[in-house]
Chain A
Amino acid sequence: MLLELMGVAALLFGLFFCAVGVLGVIRMPDSLTRLHASGKVATLGLFGLLVGAALLMPSIWLRMLVLGLFVLLTSPVATHAIAASVYRRREIVAELGESGTPAEDSGFTSANVTAVLSRSRIQDIIEAQERALRQPGREAKGRRDN
């Protein structure tokens, strides 16, 4: 009775994370955020389903353990490969454009994001240096803040 309750609870846990992952894959605005959502399905959702199945049907717990370990090992590797392909494809699109021609204003690309990030970082460093020049005693503290 207790095993059945725990098994059904683990199955519901896994089903919840599968549903949340599929919802995230539909609703998230960007490729990398969608990858973040679908990684939850592979680890939490499927692992909850496997634990629930092993609790409800104890004769297959060894195979469930093998399958769970395999999924835990391989799914981050697959997700990382997809993320690397997304990043590489964005670099290509930012360099050449979607149709192979140089892009004029290609919106949210990795090159633009890097440019924006580095620009704000440079501004932070300049402001920190100016603050340090205005207050010579606080130089070390300003560096630690940034």
Chain B
Amino acid sequence: MKTRACGWQELKASLVMTESPYVQAAIQLILLALISLLIPASYRVIVGPTLPDRLQAVDLITTLLIGIIVMLALVEGTENFVDMAIALAAFAFIGTISIARYISEGRVF
């Protein structure tokens, strides 16, 4: 980002992570809503009639968890949580692929 002579302070103030109470409240409410979405998503894990349904619901929960970690990084103001989200996405992909192959093929490799 290039530094400009005029209005740089205002631009920087508008780009820095906000401390506005409305935005903070909105972020926390969205985080709360995402966490509460985990409960109906786990319904399909428990009730799901077949094995692929449960696997798909676990995949959905993992996707929601990535979103929750990102929102947690926003709420806490910590950047390092995003690395956790990337690692979780990678391991969830490997796990989903291997379990789906186990269901369809009867073996993983």
Contact = CB atoms under 8 A, between A and B. Distances in A.
Contacts, number: 155
A23 B92 CA distance: 22
A11 to B, nearest CB: 5
Interface string B42-55: 01100000111101
A111 interface: no
A140 interface: no
A74 B30 contact: no
Contacts of A67: 66, 70, 82, 85-86, 89
A89 B105 CA distance: 9
Contact of A56 (B17, B40, B83): B17
Interface of A: 1-4, 7-8, 11-12, 14-15, 18-19, 21-23, 25-26, 31, 34-35, 38, 41-42, 45-46, 49-50, 53, 56-60, 63-64, 66-67, 70-71, 74-75, 77-79, 81-82, 84-89
A1 to B, nearest CB: 6
Contacts of B43: 26
Contact of A49 (B59, B67, B77, B105): B67
B89 A85 contact: no
